[in-house]
Amino acid sequence: MTDQRTWRSVRFVWAVLSVVLLETVLLGGAIAPALAFVQWQARWPINDGLRVLLLSLAVVPLYLLFAALLVVMSALATRVLGWRTPAGITARLADFEWPVLTWGRYLMTIHVVRVFAGPAFRSSPIWSWYLRLNGARVGRLVWVNSLSVMDHNLLEFGDNVVVGADVHLSGHSVERGLLKTAPVRLGAGTVIGVGSVVGVGVTTGPETQVGALSVVPKFSALEGHTSYGGVPVQRLH
């Protein structure tokens, strides 16, 4: 029992340290071009007023560059390291087994990107491209206007899917200390209304409409060409 507790502690500490190390490298690498520009601009032979003006005008482009680099570097890093949400598992969080820790590290990298880059790129082709690069299967003309979309490698969105603002959608649930995972599949043309919650294991047919502030229970299968709404959702027409 003592050995098991020791190894749990070792695994947990290593997982935390690996995340801290990775994010230190990713954030440092992403911001390096902006800092290099500021240092280079400081050597220009111009007066202080013009220098302040130029730096002010450079803030937005430098932030967008930082955010874009963070998106690319983070997605590539998780792919190389194999940090993904394991599909179809039921595991105790307290055991700190590697599948759980890998899931936690993957979600942490997603969280850092959504905090620093999400405000700039949400509901844009760049955000859909990030989801795809980070493991999701995303069709054409997909618009995701939410930063609460997690477990990207367990998501499958068909063409023309729209995920509204503040939608909570993920491939995991935590119940009584157990982590459970399953894919979420949205058929082509599905629209998830603002502020809705889509549970783990949900599938929708093509052209499914889910109204705003609705809750789709876990493992629900919604018919295509049908509208749903409510808490929990019920067929409207």
For 25, residues 6+ apart whose C-beta sits below 8 A from its C-beta are: none
**Residues near 122 by beta carbon (within 8 Å), at least 6 away in sequence:** 144, 145, 146, 147
Which pLDDT score, from 0 to 100, does residue 3 have?
A: 76
Going from the C-alpha of 103 to that of each of 83, 109, 131, 146, the distances in angstroms are 7, 10, 16, 20
* Extents of the domains making up the chain: 2-231
pLDDT digit string, tens, across residues 189-208: 999 999 999 999 999 999 99
Mean pLDDT rounded to a whole number for the chain: 95
Spell out the residues 6+ positions from residue 182 whose beta carbon is closer than 8 angstroms to its own.
87, 88, 154, 171, 200, 201, 218, 219
Average pLDDT for 90-111: 94
Quote the tokens at residue 152. Answer: 């990207």
**Residue 235 pLDDT > 70, yes or no?**
yes
Per-residue buried b or exposed e for 33-54, using 16+ beta carbons within 10 Å of the residue's own CB: ebeeeeeeeeeeeeeeeeeeee
pLDDT at 48: 86
Distance in angstroms (rounded) separating the CA atoms of residues 157 and 140: 9
Residue 158 clears pLDDT 70, i.e. is over it? yes
Topology (CATH level 3) of domain 2-231: UDP N-Acetylglucosamine Acyltransferase; domain 1 (2.160.10)
Look up the pTM and report it: 0.92
Mean pLDDT, residues 223-229: 95
pLDDT in the model for residue 177? 92
* One-letter identity of residue 195: G
For 85-100, what is each residue's pLDDT tens digit? 999 999 999 889 999 9
Q: How far apart are CA 189 and CA 186, in angstroms?
A: 8
